[in-house]
Structure 1
Amino acid sequence: MIELERNTFGLYTYYPFDEECHRHHMRIVRINTYSNGNLQYDHLFPPPVRNFHGCTLNLCLRVAHPVVLDFRGNRNDPKDLQGFDRLFGIEADIFRNLAKAMNFRVDISIPEEISTIGGHNDSTGCFAELASGRSDVAIGSLTISYGLRDVFSYSISYHQSPFVFIVRRGLHFGPMKQLAQAFCGSVWLAIGVCCVGGMIFIRLVIRHANPSTCEKLIGNPRRSDCTSLIITMMGNPLQVLPRRNSARLLLMAWLLATLVLRSAYQSKLFDTLRTSQRMPVPNSIAGLVENKYILLADRYVNFYPENMTLIVLNVAERYRFVQNSESIRFATFSMLDTLTWHNQLNWNTSRLTYIPEPIYLMQVSMFFKKHSILRSIFNYRIQQLMGAGITSHIAQKHVVKKFQGMNERLQRLPAISSNMLSGLYLLYAFLMAVACLLFALELLAHRNLRVKRLIDWMHLVERA
């Protein structure tokens, strides 16, 4: 509004393009005149801009598979960067509907660098193009959850998706832990306490009890080897059985207990090897930190420890690292819809799932230069599309919800492979090495008196 003369004011508006769609020549039009308390026309505000008359808007695109955009063309070819023929995805379809309703065309630019908002003219990617005026609109999974979003103008949110941590389900345990997984820690502790307690009991009886009492409790002290507890537990027979019934009852009770333990261990070990899930997936962000997951990210974030973060810029590379990690605990983050798209494309091979606790809710919007006139124009049309259910229909077309349920998906049990039995091979090699060492000591005992005394002490054989 400008004062033309005393008590006379002119009301003006402007249009972002002139009649020939020249971008740098705004068209200024006087829409009304206020004079002596009266308006020349009844309307105070100009009619909203609803038609761009085929003019071209510069669109900055951030490719973010697949929820927002997928550009299928040559980024260096100017012809491929004009129009919507090579744009696919939720935001592409929404923007295509807006272009049809408001009658405009687009010239697309796709920056190579990451799009981040800076507070002192140091923005990058699409935000740098908005700040410099090279682009009018920026789209591509840009969210109003950014901390410095007020540096630019943005539209209302037309799509939402949780931002979650992505992990691999069914991580393999290490070789020895795979064997130990058959029993929980408390069961292993009870077995160890029984073995150690039995060995101590045998030693105390041999050392402090008289021969008759010793024979009643554990049998002949010359034949009572502490390692017999371990030998019988592994299913090997004893060479000499005790003669007294009391000692035989104790031996029978121990043999029954070890039989139950061996049978239970074999069945539990087989079940551990045949199930697809090895390592349980944490249910919270705190569980990731507690289990020492290494976060693969394009930047350091304030919701995960920096010393447990590894920088990997490409999101496809981050997904590949997490998918291929067999024993290392890797995690990354992305929109849940991005994970859904990946699982849909790789349904037979994907092992990626998500942590139920979300980081935050991503609200996708279009960004404009600060105080851009385009913001109100686009908001009006976006509200119309949302009210008609078009935006939700587009989202359902591109994001199939059933592929989000990777946590509940039933998978065919894989065959037992050599990798699953690597711990068994390692333990067998260790036992064979110990057996060879003991055999070498036995041979050496025939030539060395000290070695013979050591072997006799290990077997509790008293010299006559």
Structure 2
Amino acid sequence: MKKFNLILISLLLVNLGVCEKNTEKSYKIPKVKFGNPLSKAMATIIKTFYSIESTQLTIVRAADNHENEILQSGIINEILYDVKGLILIRLQSYDSREHSFRRYFNVLVVDSYESFRKILNGGGKDAFDFTGYYTIILTSVVENYREEVYKILKDCYRSYIINANVITFDPSNIEKAFVFTYFPYTTKHCNHVKPVVNGVFENETLAMYSKLFSNKVSNFHRCNITVGTIEYPPFMILKYQGNGSYYYDGFEGIITRVLGQRLNFSLILKTSVDRWGVVNGENSTGLSRLLLKGEVNFTIGSFAATFSHNGSFTNTISYYGTPLTLLVPPGRAYTHMEKLFLPMKYIIWSCISTIFILSAVVVSISKFIRPHRRAFIFGRKNYFPYINTINVFLGGVVPITPMRNFARFLLMLWILSSLVIRSSYQGSLFNFLKDHRNASIADTFPKMIKEGFKIYGSEAIRKYFSSNDVYLSVFRNISVRELEDYKMKSTTPGFKGAVVASAFNIAYLNEKYHSHNIRFRRSKEQIVLLYICIYLRKYSYLTKPFDKELWRYVESGLINRWLSVFYNKQYLKDTPDKSIPQALTFDQLSGIFMAYVILLVFSFMVFLLEVLSRKSRVLRALCNFLN
């Protein structure tokens, strides 16, 4: 009770001081007493809105002179008395730079437009969150009060403060207060600030004509919104319609169209030859520069949420994630003979070669043993055991079967082994020829570094390699105009480099060039996972309506539906499924023809050896031994 008496006495002294000095105004304000319409209206707003939506409220004041400071103190004290601890209220000086968070729920007490600017500029750029809620109390009473209200609300709109109300006296009746606000998009005007009376405080009652902080950007009434984007299939596909208009197609083109239909706005297109560009303050380029300068309202087209953009822009929720990876060349093509030997590992070929060598040794040794013992191993009348061994291995028949059980057992064992090896080889060879495989594909970062590869990408991609000096040293910045050319170069075996691209884009390219028999290969390792979003200006009032709509599209499955129109995961596989069988080409079977030619040459040399053996006893003895 003692504290209350002290507060009451101090308020009375303050009010007396105000009355003595206030003699030069056109509209004289009487003693400030409990019941001031400004404080009463503000107290009602705190009770009905701020205390419900938040646990803390910041009150900041600024005045042009000491007299108005005293007046504001009285109004603030009365507000504190009326709310009676419903909410934690923080009193802050306009020039205070000590803030651990941006102020979201705010009451600004000012006496003019200039003092309003003092508050916005005094605390630094991180003092306020302009997407929050602002109630401005204009304590002075002047004839052109509407002009003051207009300038304050116009500055609010320039700063993207869409949730703003101004409370001021009615000059003709100081027991009455008006609540002004503005609606930038209506059926009568677009992108324009026109203060309107949204509420009146009179007879101890605050009557609002609409919600205190109504949703002003849920319907743009076909007003123009400028979008910054680029032609970048399959994310954004621009189709010129004539008369300066475009049809937005592609995955994000559909999102852009639907946003315009749902929020009822028209689109104006702006693009840039530097595409996405880089964010670097005044030296920013591309679409990033257009957004930073305020020439576009938002940008869309394969923009990924990154920390480097957080200080300059605001982004929506991420509605899709795609790996950022590398397009790698197919590697050296296999030679004709390599294609014949690759279906089986070297250890299998070693075993087969060992068997044939041992067979040749056994046959050679058998030349020096008696015929009946040789017949026990090879069978009778088997004059060409080694040739028969090769014949059975290749699927031929034995003209004379052995009579002995041991010889028959050896023959059956060899037939069974040959059948398994031959069938496995044929199946593996067919799959190998069908898959169009290449040798030595550098599809990992260590392999690329070892092969001396360069990594090509736009300037905006460089930041993803900055954490590793080795990878950063091989990164080469190329212009966005060269990017598509380098992607096509990555399909040639002799290209010593890799091109940065998203998995979404790679699948689209494979589907696009599938009929041309051109395939784009990606690395096994990914650089980073890109979270695709829409970028807007800092504190943009478009953020909330866009987020609300995008959440609906994600939760309803529409994003996946639109994505499936342009994205087929089958085209990311190394060997995509083919529904139509394709005939083997001569190039695929050239190895067997080369082997046939080699064997013909070998046969011709043997023929020459037999012809020359008629004139040489040594050659004749060699031929007889081999026979």
Asked if the contact 1:294–1:309 (Cα under 8 Å) also holds between the matched residues in 2, the reply is no
Asked if the contact 2:324–2:526 (Cα under 8 Å) also holds between the matched residues in 1, the reply is yes
Shift of 1:142: 0.6
Of 129-138 and 186-195, more deviation after overlay is shown by: 129-138
Aligned to 2:355: 194
Provide the C-alpha distance between the structure 1 equivalents of 2:452 and 2:406, rounded to a whole number of angstroms: 51
Asked if the contact 2:237–2:249 (Cα under 8 Å) also holds between the matched residues in 1, the reply is yes
| Equivalent AA in structure 1 for residue 287 of structure 2 | C
Asked if the contact 1:60–1:108 (Cα under 8 Å) also holds between the matched residues in 2, the reply is yes
Shift of 1:70: 0.6
Q: Deviations over 1:274-297 (max 9, x none)?
A: 784354999x97599599898985
What secondary structure is seen at the aligned counterpart in 1 of 2:599?
Answer: helix
Shift of 1:95: 3.1
Q: Deviations over 1:400-428 (max 9, x none)?
A: 49832455846333223323211111111
Shift of 1:257: 1.5
Identity within the alignment, %:
12
Change (3 A) 1:210 1:430: closer
What secondary structure is seen at the aligned counterpart in 2 of 1:397?
Answer: helix
Aligned to 1:59: 227
Aligned to 1:152: 312
Aligned to 1:277: 435
Asked if the contact 1:155–1:378 (Cα under 8 Å) also holds between the matched residues in 2, the reply is no
Provide the C-alpha distance between the structure 2 equivalents of 1:455 and 1:118, rounded to a whole number of angstroms: 86
Provide the C-alpha distance between the structure 2 equivalents of 1:293 and 1:266, rounded to a whole number of angstroms: 41
Indicate the structure with greater helix content.
2
| Equivalent AA in structure 1 for residue 558 of structure 2 | H
Provide the C-alpha distance between the structure 2 equivalents of 1:318 and 1:292, rounded to a whole number of angstroms: 18
RMSD, aligned α-carbons: 5.8
State how 1:65-464 maps to structure 2 within 5 Å. Answer: 65-66=233-234, 68-73=235-240, 79-80=243-244, 83=245, 85-99=246-260, 105-117=266-278, 119=280, 123-131=284-292, 134-144=295-305, 146=306, 148-150=308-310, 152-163=312-323, 174-200=335-361, 205=365, 211-212=369-370, 216=374, 233-234=393-394, 249=406, 253=410, 257=414, 260-261=417-418, 264-265=421-422, 268-269=425-426, 272-273=429-430, 276-277=434-435, 279=437, 289=447, 298=457, 302=465, 334-339=501-506, 341=508, 359-369=527-537, 372-374=538-540, 377-389=541-553, 392-400=557-565, 403-406=568-571, 407=573, 409=577, 411-443=579-611, 453=618, 460=625
| Equivalent AA in structure 2 for residue 191 of structure 1 | I
Asked if the contact 2:229–2:271 (Cα under 8 Å) also holds between the matched residues in 1, the reply is yes
Instruction: Give the TM-score taking structure 2 as reference length.
Output: 0.50
State how 1:21-32 maps to structure 2 within 5 Å. Answer: 27-28=154-155, 31-32=165-166
Shift of 1:392: 4.3
Aligned to 2:200: none
Q: Deviations over 1:275-321 (max 9, x none)?
A: 84354999x97599599898985368749979999999667666766
Q: Deviations over 1:92-145 (max 9, x none)?
A: 33334444566655442332335343557654432243445554432210101x
Shift of 1:163: 1.6
Change (3 A) 1:97 1:421: closer
- Consecutive unaligned residues of structure 1, counting only runs of 5 or more, are 16-25
Instruction: Give the TM-score taking structure 1 as reference length.
Output: 0.64
Provide the C-alpha distance between the structure 1 equivalents of 2:290 and 2:361, rounded to a whole number of angstroms: 78
Provide the C-alpha distance between the structure 2 equivalents of 1:327 and 1:440, rounded to a whole number of angstroms: 43
| Equivalent AA in structure 2 for residue 423 of structure 1 | G
Greater Cα radius of gyration, structure 1 or 2:
2
Change (3 A) 1:389 1:110: closer
Change (3 A) 1:393 1:309: same
- Alignment length (residue pairs): 422
Asked if the contact 2:613–2:620 (Cα under 8 Å) also holds between the matched residues in 1, the reply is yes
Shift of 1:381: 0.7
Change (3 A) 1:295 1:164: farther
Bigger relative contact order, structure 1 or 2, given CA contacts below 8 A and separation 6+?
A: 1
- Consecutive unaligned residues of structure 2, counting only runs of 5 or more, are 1-60, 73-108, 111-115, 122-129, 131-152, 157-163, 170-176, 180-205
